[in-house]
Amino acid sequence: MEVDFDSITLPQELSKTFLKMGEIKRSYIGENYVIFDFGDALLFGNLIEGDYPDTSKFFPAIKKFIDFPKDELKKALVKVGDFTGEICFESTCEIELGDSIVVRHEGSTAEITEFLDFGKRYPKGKFVLNPYHFSVMLDNCDLFSFQEKSLFGRSQDNNFKCLLALNKVEKG
C-alpha cells in the first residue's frame, strides 16, 4: 500500500525515527495508528488527530525579538543567486550581521548598509542557512529571534511559526 503522507500527521519522535529507517517495504495506516515495515524492522505508532502537531513542545518561548529588514534581505537573496527549482533545497548561503548585513553565495555578495533598527543591535556574527527556506520565512514572519543553532520566526498575529536550522554559527 502506498502511503499518502499529505493525509497523515505523525508525532515528532516517530517522524525522526522514520527518517532514519530507510525504504518502506509495506505499510498500513489505520484510523489512529500506523505501521511501517522496513524489511528488518517494524515501526509503529499513533497518528496525531487534526491537521497540525502540538508545536508547543519544540517551538521556543521567546521574550525578545529582533526586526530584520525583510524587503532588503529578500532583494539581497535575489541578487546573490537563483534559489528556485530543485537546487533550492541543496543551496546554502552565509549571512553576516554587524554594522551592515552581508549575504554571500558562491562568490556573489550583497550588502545591506542602510536599514532602520530603531536603536536595537543585531547579534554580531555569521550563520549559514538554506536561502530558499529563509526567503519563505521572510515572506511569512514579522518577528525573529536567534536560538542556539536555529532562527525562530512568527507572524505578528502568532498564527504562523517557523523554526529554521542554521548550518553553521560563528559569533562575532
Q: pLDDT (tens digit, 9 = 90+) per residue, 101-151?
A: 899 998 899 998 876 555 556 677 888 988 888 988 999 999 888 877 888
Q: Which tens digit of pLDDT belongs to each residue from 85-96?
A: 666 777 889 999
The CATH classification number of 70-171 equals 3.10.150.10
Instruction: Report the C-alpha gap between 94 and 99 in whole angstroms.
Output: 16
pTM, entire model:
0.62
Residue matched to cell numbers 527549482: 85
Query: For the chain, which residues make up each domain, given as ranges?
Result: 5-54, 70-171
The predicted pLDDT at position 1 comes to 43
Average pLDDT for the chain:
77
- Would the pLDDT of 34 be above 90? no
Residue with the bigger pLDDT between 168 and 69: it is 69
Query: Where is pLDDT greater, at 19 or 26?
Result: 26
pLDDT value for 7: 60
pLDDT for residue 6: 60
Closest residue by Cα to residue 164 from 147, 150, 143: 150
CA distance 93 to 109: 10
Distance CA 137, CA 84 (A): 15
pLDDT of 94 reads 93
Question: What is the predicted pLDDT for the residue at 104?
Answer: 93
The answer to whether residue 73 scores a pLDDT higher than 50 is yes
More confident residue, 8 or 53: 8
Q: Are 93 and 129 in contact (CB under 8 A)?
A: yes
Angle at 8 between CA 136 and CA 157, to 5 degrees: 40
**How many other C-beta atoms can be found within 10 angstroms of the C-beta atom of residue 23?**
6
pLDDT at 2 over 70: no
136 phi, psi to nearest 5 deg: -65, -40
Q: Which amino acid is at 138?
A: L
- The whole-number pLDDT of residue 136 equals 87
| Whole-number pLDDT of residue 100 | 84
